[in-house]
């Protein structure tokens, strides 16, 4: 089993994440904030930290997911995304492990499918931690 990406300093509320959200007060920021809240609501053990300039959610320091706003879209990314079931075909990317979903203002999003990906990512990271990854 591969090693999980670990982050030091995760907390229930991270000042860097709060500052990022305040700086991104436009439509893209609102989309990112909405989905980051959905990720944080997976469980009381979900903590946050800034990583590579993006709000990142962790469980026991292991990377779960992140959000980031770009010029015309928001990414909701999953650190172990290549292993997630994705029947709706939302995930993009061809890296070894990570995958992301691109969200664009005004474009339809299958919210149920994205929420299912978030729930699957949370269940997956919890299982990996139980297995000692």
Under the banding of pLDDT at 50, 70 and 90, the label for residue 89 is very high
- From its phi and psi, is residue 74 left (phi > 0), alpha (psi between -120 and 50) or beta? beta
The CA-atom distances, in angstroms, between 19 and each of 28, 35, 40, 126 are 15, 17, 17, 28
Cβ pair 122, 64 in contact under 8 A: yes
Cα torsion through 30, 34, 36, 41, rounded to 10 = 160
The pTM assigned to this predicted structure is 0.95
Mean pLDDT, the chain, as a whole number?
A: 95
Fold of 15-130: 3.90.1150
The 10s digit of each residue's pLDDT in 25-73 is: 999 999 999 999 999 999 999 999 999 999 999 999 999 999 999 999 9
Q: Which residues contact 41 (CB under 8 A, 6 or more apart)?
A: none
Q: From CA 34, how far away is CA 4, in angstroms rounded? A: 26
The 10s digit of each residue's pLDDT in 100-115 is: 999 999 999 999 999 9
49 strand-pairing partners: 56
Residue 81 is classified by DSSP as G
Torsions phi, psi for 74 (to 5 deg): -120, 140
Which residue ranges make up each domain of the chain? 15-130
């Amino acid at each position: 089993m591969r090693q999980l990406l670990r982050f030091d300093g995760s907390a229930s509320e991270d000042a860097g994440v709060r500052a990022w959200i305040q700086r991104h007060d436009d439509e893209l920021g609102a989309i990112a904030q909405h989905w980051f809240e959905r990720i944080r609501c997976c469980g009381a053990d979900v903590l946050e930290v800034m990583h590579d300039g993006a709000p990142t959610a962790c469980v026991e320091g292991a990377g779960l997911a992140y959000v980031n706003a770009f010029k015309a879209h928001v990414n909701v990314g999953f650190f172990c995304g290549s292993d997630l079931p994705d029947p709706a075909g939302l995930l993009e990317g061809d890296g070894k492990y990570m995958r992301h979903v691109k969200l664009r203002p005004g474009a339809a999003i299958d919210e149920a499918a994205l929420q299912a990906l978030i729930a699957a990512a949370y269940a997956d990271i919890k299982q990996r931690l139980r297995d000692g990854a």
